[in-house]
Amino acid sequence: MNSIFFRKDFIKETGITDKVLHEFETNNLLKPAGFTEDKTAFYTKVSVEQVNMLKSLTDLGYAIPELQKIVKKIGLPNNSKLQQEEKNMEKFITISSLADQAGVSPRTIKHWEEKGIIESEMRSSGGFRLYSQTYIYMCKLIKDLQLFNYSLEEIKTISDYFRDFLLISNDLNHYTQKETQERLDAMSGAIVQLFSKMNMLKEGISRWENLLKTKQKEIQSIKVKNTKRKISNDKIEI
């Protein structure tokens, strides 16, 4: 999980003032690592390193124009791995936005996270969670599995399979050959079971569709008869 800092926490972490941070940003010496969907800026460890360098140069007597020349010419220090992660960052969403788009409550998202089914992509020092937008689709898949009568424990197992699959896909040597084979066999077995449940559901849905269509026609027919009966009774009363 990546550590992030919102403005207040970032200022505390770096030991600079809001005025200094604003000055760095307005003079293009520093920029946020990314933004949430409501355009709230956040920063990372790379940002902290960059501020530390700017502070050091400032302490040595360099003014803003000189800092701009230095940044333009040689740039600021960075951890290549962390910087690459920042480049790959998409727009992250808050737990309330994820819950709203997935059609569940924020409490449900937190419960799933406590069960280890999902994991927040980023978290601030204050515990503020951020998720990538791919989790919207994942949460809908979890809801589907619940409709298939899967327990949260079973869904957790499937979630672990997905994580294992990604690990193996990205690095075939992550596990030993034997462990990899065992995990892939377990995944295949889970897929077969899921297909079996889906087929049962399809058959059940088909039965209910036929039943409901028939009853819908019968209800419409009875409504027509009832309307005619009312008209007939009205004529008798006249």
| Total domains in the fold of the chain | 2
Q: What are the tens digits of pLDDT across the range 17-36?
A: 999 999 888 898 888 887 77
The average pLDDT across 127-153 equals: 87
Which of 50, 65, 87 terminates a domain? The answer is 87
User: Which of 87, 117, 139 is where one domain is finished?
Assistant: 87
The secondary structure of 59-126, three-state, reads: HCCCCHHHHHHHHHHHCCCCCHHHHHHHHCCCCEEEHHHHHHHHCCCHHHHHHHHHCCCCCCCEEECC
Question: Quick one: 104 exposed, middle or buried, by C-beta within 10 A (0-12, 13-18, 19+)?
Answer: middle
Q: Which residue has the higher pLDDT, 186 or 129?
A: 186
2/128 Cα distance (integer angstroms): 12
Reduce the DSSP state of residue 2 to 3 states and report it.
strand
Whether residue 85 has pLDDT greater than 70: no
Mean pLDDT score, 178-194:
92
Last residue of a domain, one of 71, 87, 103: 87
* Residue % of the chain over a pLDDT of 90: 30
The verdict on residue 119 lying in a domain is no
What is the amino acid identity at position 219?
A: I
- Residue 37 falls inside a structural domain: yes
d(CA 128, CA 98): 13
Instruction: Please determine, for residue 138, whether its predicted confidence score (pLDDT) is greater than 60.
Output: yes
What is the spatial distance between Cα 16 and Cα 57, in angstroms, rounded to a whole number? 14
Q: Which segments within 93-231 are labelled E, that is strand?
A: 93-94, 122-124, 129-131
Q: What is the pTM of this model?
A: 0.56
118 CB neighbour count, 10 Å cutoff: 20
Whether 221 is in a domain gets the answer yes
Over 80: is that where the pLDDT of 230 sits? no
Under a CB-based contact definition with an 8 Å cutoff, are residues 9 and 125 in contact? yes
Give the CATH number, domain containing residue 35: 1.10.1660.10
C-alpha to C-alpha distance for 189 and 186, rounded to whole angstroms: 5
Tens of pLDDT along 26-84?
898 888 887 776 778 888 888 888 888 888 888 888 888 888 888 777 676 554 444 55
* Dist CA 73 CA 67 (whole Å): 10
| Domain residue limits at 25 | 2-87
pLDDT given at position 130: 81
| 82 and 155 housed in the same domain | no
Q: Indicate if the pLDDT at residue 87 is higher than 60.
A: no
Q: How many CB atoms lie within 10 A of CB 63?
A: 9
φ, ψ dihedrals at 84, nearest 5°: -65, -40
d(CA 28, CA 25): 5
Tokens linked to 51: 């501020």
